[in-house]
Chains A and B, each alone.
Chain A
Amino acid sequence: MLRDDIIEYSLEGHHSEEEGVKLRKTIWKVTAILTIITALEVAVGIMFPKSAVSEGVWTAIKISYIILTLVKAAYIVLSFMHLGDERKAMRYVILIPYFIFALYLIFVLITEGNAIFAALTQYAS
């Protein structure tokens, strides 16, 4: 096999016109979901600016932003990038690095950042 790019392409394969209609319906559905989530995020950002709400409310908004972001990311990866149609093993190979390394790194560095902030406010002034 000298040219891998011209091998017979049958895996993700071709599909018929009828299947295409169904797939396009899903695509437009995902588009609507992504657009609505983005519009919602921006509307919340405009209606409840950080300066106008209490700390507790802002934390709640922040967490919901992060959850909505992950929902959007999941739709893009699983639907648009068709990772949802791949084999289970491949899904895990692609996704697990983030669940292990990225989450751990977030935990470590945010904790460290907060500690530095505390130290700076205590000793710098």
Chain B
Amino acid sequence: MAGHASKQIDAKTLWGGKMSPFSTSYGKLMMWFFLVSDALTFSGLLISYGFTRHDYLGSWPIGEETFHSLPFLDGNYPLIYVALMTFILIVSSVTMVLAVEAGHRMNKKQVTKWLALTIVGGFFFVGSQAWEWSHFIHGTEFGRVELADGSQAIVKGNFGEIKNFEVTVAGHHHAVGDKITEDLKHEYTHAIAEGHVHNGIITLHDGSQAKINKAANTEMILDIKEFGGKYKIGDKIEGAEAVAMYEEAVNAGEKNRIIYGANMKQNEYGPQHYGQFFFFITGFHGFHVFSGVMINLIILFGVIGGVYHKRGHYEMVEKTGLYWHFVDLVWVFVFTFFYLV
């Protein structure tokens, strides 16, 4: 058997035309061609992202401002979560190389082990991305506020706790004097986004109205992201002034004065295009990871069933490995241009 360095071809490896381009087997070369075209697709997406980002410059969000949460923990942990995701994907790439290496030694047990670990890593990554999306879609406690002069600001600070809603006008479900204590935050943000909060009174789904008993927000900073009449991009409003301006928007009773989270039409983090690119590029990549996990699973069944051992080589593991590394490679770029820069 030929080693790595020598590229001697025996007669059986030649393709139909009695040649073997680049001394590579047919399957591997075709996988490379697929990856070249797929990489060009991702290049196109990321470059158009860069183009759009340069259209907006100042108002485009920065990674460490948008992504700073961890599951089950409160507080500010910029980039930690996505770094963890990146690490998971790198590690699963490593286990994949180890599976390929074990395949070269015809060690079925080790191929099975490393390939199974690769699949576990892939599932972890897809799960992490699901959490990330969910967090991105639901948004922060404060959302993004449109100030009285029309400029837009992202908000930081401590959210004052909501104690209860005290019903003042009865609706279908609630009588006057009832104190609602469930699902307060969700009801509150939803009502603000819809413009159903007016002068401290919230209008609930059933038509009843209630007084909001809520502690004041503190240490607020309004960071201007879009030009209005009075403020320009980069201005920061702090202290009592910030609290008052935010409260004005909360109590205006106008739809979309405050936007929470993200959907295809708008998002609290930056321009509309930002959310669309985030969903499309990370979604397209996540779809690749998911398909990769499925392909790896199919190959794993083959390995366990001894299909490749009987064949005399584990080239299928190598081919699916190429695809899996490619997914990791794309993530390296997505990580830089969505989260770091």
Inter-chain contact A85/B329, CB cutoff 8 Å: no
B71 within 8 A of A: no
Additional 9 contacts, C-beta under 8 A, given A81-B326, A94-B32: A14-B1, A20-B104, A24-B98, A38-B83, A68-B336, A90-B21, A105-B44, A113-B50, A113-B55
A58 and B20 CA atoms in complex are apart in Å by: 49
A111 and B23 CA atoms in complex are apart in Å by: 41
B64 within 8 A of A: yes
Binds A, one of B6-14, B138-146, B169-177, B288-296: B6-14
Inter-chain contact A46/B54, CB cutoff 8 Å: no
Distance (whole angstroms) from the CB of B49 to the closest CB of chain A:
10
Inter-chain contact B24/A90, CB cutoff 8 Å: yes
Inter-chain contact B312/A9, CB cutoff 8 Å: yes
Most buried by A among B78, B90, B311: B90
- Mostly, the A contact residues are helix
In which size bucket is the chain A interface?
35 or more
Question: Which of B29, B54, B315, B340 touches A117 (beta carbons < 8 Å)?
Answer: B54
Distance (whole angstroms) from the CB of A122 to the closest CB of chain B:
13
* Residues of A that sit less than 8 Å from B by CB: 1, 4-17, 19-20, 23-24, 27-28, 30-31, 34-35, 38-39, 41-42, 45-46, 49-51, 62, 65-66, 68-69, 72-73, 76-77, 80-81, 85-87, 89-90, 93-94, 97-98, 101-102, 105-106, 109-110, 112-114, 116-117, 120, 125
With known contacts A12-B4, A35-B90, A87-B23, A76–B332 Cβ distance under 8 A: yes
What's the count of A-B pairs with C-beta under 8 Å? 196
**What are 25 A-B contacts with C-beta separation under 8 Å?**
A1-B15, A7-B13, A8-B312, A11-B23, A12-B28, A13-B4, A20-B104, A24-B98, A27-B94, A31-B94, A35-B87, A35-B90, A38-B83, A38-B87, A42-B340, A49-B64, A65-B336, A73-B332, A80-B328, A90-B21, A90-B24, A101-B40, A102-B47, A113-B53, A117-B57
- Measured between beta carbons, the chain B residues less than 8 angstroms from A31 are 90-91, 94
Inter-chain contact B98/A65, CB cutoff 8 Å: no
Inter-chain contact A9/B13, CB cutoff 8 Å: yes
- Measured between beta carbons, the chain A residues less than 8 angstroms from B328 are 76, 80
Distance (whole angstroms) from the CB of B316 to the closest CB of chain A:
7
Residue-wise interface mask of B (36-54) relative to A, using a CB-CB cutoff of 8 A (1 in contact, 0 not): 1001100110011011111
Question: Which of B52, B62, B311 touches A49 (beta carbons < 8 Å)?
Answer: B62
Inter-chain contact A15/B4, CB cutoff 8 Å: yes
Question: Which of B39, B44, B50, B340 touches A41 (beta carbons < 8 Å)?
Answer: B340
With known contacts A4-B25, A11-B25, A46-B78, A110–B50 Cβ distance under 8 A: yes
With known contacts A8-B10, A24-B98, A46–B51 Cβ distance under 8 A: no
B63 within 8 A of A: yes
Inter-chain contact A112/B51, CB cutoff 8 Å: yes
Distance (whole angstroms) from the CB of A80 to the closest CB of chain B:
5
Distance (whole angstroms) from the CB of B60 to the closest CB of chain A:
10
B70 within 8 A of A: no
Question: Which of A9, A98, A110 touches B315 (beta carbons < 8 Å)?
Answer: A9
With known contacts A81-B322, A87-B23, A112-B51, A13–B336 Cβ distance under 8 A: no
